[in-house]
Chains A and B, each alone.
Chain A
Amino acid sequence: MPDVAFWQGNEALAHGALAAGCRFFAGYPITPSTEIAEIMAEELPKLNGRFIQMEDEIAGIAATIGGSIAGRKALTATSGPGFSLKQENLGFAYIAEIPIVVVDVMRGGPSTGLPTRTAQQDVMQARWGTHGDHGTICYAPSSVQECYEIAIKAFNAAERYRQPVLILSDEIIGHMREKVVPPTIKPEDLVERKRPTDIPEKFVPYRPDPKDDLPCMASFGDGYTWHITGLTHNDWGFPTNNSDEIEKMMKRLMRKIDRFRDDIVEYETVLTDDADVLVLAYGSVARTSLRAVHEARTRGIKAGFFRPITLWPFPDKELEKLARKVKTIIVPELNCGQMVLEVERAVHGKAKVVAQNLVNGELFKPEDILSVIEEVA
């Protein structure tokens, strides 16, 4: 690992995944995520890892889940159309509780949309894209350095909570070059999945550990037999139609995120102590927003900045506290108004919420956001 690197976001993400212990990648090429696959193809065999280009994104995530079931930390990466194709098997990973990391480097949609231009139109898909209820863990990096760090966090969360974890990058973050100082990773910085300690005869694959309510996970090949299914199942992993067992499984799945919400949620605030106007932004938009906030300050406006690092779970409690103090929250997004709905839900009328939207494939300029700050101040 170099001490300092000059990487694209996608490169940093791939190297971060490798540093996190990722030893399996399966995917299908799609702009603007392809560099991640290319780097994994080159680097994984050198680490006795495994890379495979599958026949489509459905197969890409399926093989990724397979790699994880066989005991490897596993990654797949894609963009809008591929993210849509992955949704069914993403749901499989939620219900079967298989740790994987899925990267979506966002481009404009719907459909083939804008392959080479940026957007933030998949944030609700990340939350609700697969059918059925489930908790979501989703990170949004806003710098190249952060791509590296978030890759490690995402693997740690996936392995700890035994579920898929998403990273929503975007075309600008993915392709932008910046200086990266890869942090030194010690073994204790990495989470390894909890293995069963019971003898094989006593192993109940989905029985939660009373300490943390999470079941441990055996890998195929490490001495246990067990059943994995996408059907609603009991602690034995066997399909059930029993109402009590159904409810028990669903509630525990949801509880994973609820219970550990405070450990998972991450956000950043700048100049919020005395702010009247708050700009809430994530991903590439956070960068221009922060510029605009600083500029507003030089013009005497008490502006502040709030950046959710986890889009899901959304830092709603933390935002709500701030909403009691500020008058207005501006939510600039490269979509027609998605995260703003979550902001409205979180602040619950305590501050005025103003959406600012751009869907022409470009990024906001700081002055665009500054002018809205000035308008509402």
Chain B
Amino acid sequence: MPSQEVFNWLRTRFFPHIWCPGCGHGIIMHSLLRALVDLKKKKTETVIASGIGCSSRMVGYIDACTVHTTHGRSLAFATGIKLANPELTVVDVMGDGDCTAIGGNHFIHACRRNIDITAIVMNNNIYGMTGGQVSPTTPVGSLATTSPYGAIDPSFDICKLAEGAGASYVARTTIANPKQAEQFIKAGINNKGFSVVEILTHCHTQFGRRNKRRTPIDNVNFFKANSVPLNKAQEMSPEELAEKIVVGEFVKREIPEYTAQYLSIIERVGGLKNGK
């Protein structure tokens, strides 16, 4: 059960939630809320944006400044919000399809700008909401309704993508380690720059059912059995790592943050004295 402090961040008036019983997305929501509570964030100064998908429905249940945008575009909305009012804490929750397919362009550009937003990618390797279609993170060979003979296109490594595009904090964990998810989300929010926290989760309903991970617990066991911490992974060969999920903090670097730079332009051209 959530603590009272976490409970206070829920819009229970909007329950019951739409998620399937046992869906991994709820575990991520709980990790996020614990992180926000622990960081002593104020609800009225915390923005949580999302796109469209089962994952993105999370924001409706959180009592904060929440915006459930269009499929793939949440980071562009969040960029506008953050730039308009840099004092807000801005978190963006997305599905794997949302983030890396339709929203891929916005994702790499948000990384590149290093704007102070924490993106939480809820990667269940499938389009859950629309009924189990292949996503850019569906592993090769897996079955989906639109890859009935097995996916043939290689999947994205979201963390490498974020690193290459310029994010200043990048980490990955799974829902089998909710404590670590909370810790990485906190580190992401504390980082002054664009942070990406990829959390492997499951859609037993649409992915598991077709790929021998039928129940929620099958998926938790799968994540536990296949997670490899970064330091251990560094000693393993690519072959040994092929089917594994490397978890840990991949990037922590200090790069100038976008809104801070914009504010310094405002200062330079004398805009501050001219009010809002």
**A residues lining the B interface (CB < 8 Å):** 23-24, 26, 45-50, 52, 54-56, 58-60, 62-72, 74, 88-89, 92, 200, 219-231, 236, 238-239
A209 to B67, CA, bound (A): 22
Neighbour of B44 across the interface among A64, A69, A223, CB < 8 A: A223
B274 and A59 contacting across the interface, CB-CB below 8 Å: no
Residues of chain B lying within 8 A (CB to CB) of residue A221: 44-45, 65, 85, 87-88
Q: How far is the CB of A152 from chain B (nearest CB, A)?
A: 18
A55 — nearest CB in chain B belongs to which residue?
B109
Instruction: Specify which chain A residues have a CB less than 8 angstroms from the CB of B274 in the assembled complex.
Output: 46-48
User: A-facing mask of B65-81, CB < 8 A → 1, else 0?
Assistant: 11111100100111111
- Flag if A70 contacts B81 (CB, 8 Å): yes
User: Inside 8 A of B270's CB, which chain A residues have their CB?
Assistant: 46
Please report the total number of B residues contacting A with Cβ < 8 Å.
Answer: 44
Contact (Cβ within 8 A) A238 B64: no
**Complex alpha-carbon distance, A239 and B11, angstroms:** 13
| Interface contact B84-A89, CB-CB below 8 Å | no
Q: Across the interface, which residues of A come within 8 angstroms of B63, CB to CB?
A: 225
A47 to B265, CA, bound (A): 11
What distance in Å separates the Cβ of B186 from its nearest Cβ neighbour in chain A?
A: 21
Question: Which residues of chain B from 37 to 85 have any CB-CB distance to chain A below 8 Å in the complex?
Answer: 43-45, 47, 52, 59-60, 63-70, 73, 76-85
**Which residue on B lies nearest to A76, using beta carbons?**
B80
CA A1 – CA B210 in complex, angstroms?
Answer: 66
Task: For the complex formed, measure the closest distance between the CB of B250 and the CB atoms of chain A, giving whole angstroms.
Answer: 24
Instruction: Give the residues in chain B near A67, CB-CB below 8 Å.
Output: 80-81, 83-84
Given A24-B84, A56-B105, A225-B64, are A45 and B79 neighbors across the interface (CB < 8 Å)? Answer: no
CA distance A74 to B85 in the complex (A): 13
Chain A residue with the shortest CB-CB distance to B79: A63
- Chain A residues within 8 Å of B44, by CB: 200, 221-225
* Cα–Cα distance between A146 and B38 once the two chains are bound (Å): 54
Question: Does B269 belong to the interface (CB within 8 Å)?
Answer: yes
Bound complex: CA A58 to CA B211 (Å): 35
A54 to B258, CA, bound (A): 13
Segment 239-272 of B: residues with Cβ below 8 Å from A: 262, 265-266, 269-272
For the A-B complex with A24-B80, A89-B73, A221-B88 known, give 12 more contacts whose Cβ atoms are closer than 8 Å.
A45-B262, A48-B266, A62-B73, A66-B80, A66-B81, A66-B84, A67-B80, A223-B44, A225-B65, A227-B60, A229-B60, A238-B13
* Contact indicator A58/B65 (Cβ below 8 Å): no
Q: Is the CB of A59 within 8 A of B106?
A: yes
Whether a CB of chain A sits under 8 angstroms from the CB of B276 is yes
In whole angstroms, how far apart are the Cα atoms of A200 and B66 in the complex? Answer: 15
A70 contacts B271, C-beta separation under 8 Å: no
Known: A45-B262, A55-B109, A221-B88. A66 touches B76 (CB 8 A): yes
How far is it, in angstroms, between the C-alpha of A88 and the C-alpha of B60 when the chains are bound? 21
Chain A residues touching B, majority SS: mixed
Taken together as a complex, chains A and B put the C-alpha atoms of A238 and B14 apart, in Å, by 7
Whether B68 and A227, one on each chain, are in contact in the complex, defined by CB atoms closer than 8 angstroms, is yes
Listed in ascending order, the chain B residues whose CB lies under 8 Å from chain A are 11, 13-14, 43-45, 47, 52, 59-60, 63-70, 73, 76-85, 87-88, 105-106, 109, 262, 265-266, 269-272, 274-276
| Chain A nearest Cβ from B44, distance in angstroms | 5
Main secondary structure of the interface of B (DSSP, over half): helix
Of B60, B65, B76, B77, the residue contacting A238 (CB under 8 A) is B60
Task: Name the one of B11, B78, B87, B271 contacting A227, with C-beta atoms under 8 angstroms.
Answer: B11
Q: Which residue of A lies closest to B18 (CB)?
A: A239
Of the residues B65, B76, B85, B271, contact of A62 by C-beta under 8 Å: B76
* B82: chain A residues within 8 A (beta carbon): 66
The residues of B that contact A50 with a CB separation of less than 8 Å are 83-84, 262
Q: Are B66 and A227 in contact (CB under 8 A)?
A: yes
Contact of A45 among B45, B66, B73, B266 (CB under 8 A): B266
**Complex CA distance for A69 and B83, rounded to whole angstroms:** 11
- Partner pick for B80 among A47, A55, A62, CB 8 A cutoff: A62
A360 CB to nearest chain B CB (Å): 35
Q: Which chain B residues lie closer than 8 Å to A236 at the CB level?
A: 13-14
Given contacts A63-B76, A67-B83, contact A230 B60 (CB under 8 A): no
CA distance A66 to B47 in the complex (A): 11
Instruction: With a 10 A CB-CB cut-off, give which of A70, A71, A224, A238 has the most chain B CB atoms.
Output: A70
Q: How far is the CB of A97 from chain B (nearest CB, A)?
A: 13
- Could you jot down 29 A-B contacts, CB within 8 Å? A26-B80, A50-B84, A52-B79, A52-B83, A54-B109, A55-B106, A59-B76, A62-B70, A62-B76, A62-B79, A63-B80, A66-B67, A66-B83, A68-B80, A69-B67, A69-B81, A70-B84, A70-B88, A71-B84, A74-B80, A200-B44, A220-B81, A220-B85, A221-B85, A224-B65, A225-B64, A227-B59, A230-B68, A236-B14
- Beyond A26-B80, A50-B84, A220-B88, whether A228 also contacts B266 by CB under 8 A is no
Q: Are A228 and B265 in contact (CB under 8 A)?
A: no
Bound-state Cα–Cα, A49 to B106, Å: 23
Q: How far is the CB of B119 from chain A (nearest CB, A)?
A: 15
Minimal beta-carbon separation of A58 from chain B (angstroms): 6
- Specify which chain A residues have a CB less than 8 angstroms from the CB of B88 in the assembled complex: 70, 220-221
Are B79 and A48 in contact, CB atoms less than 8 angstroms apart? no
B271–A47 touching, CB < 8 Å:
yes
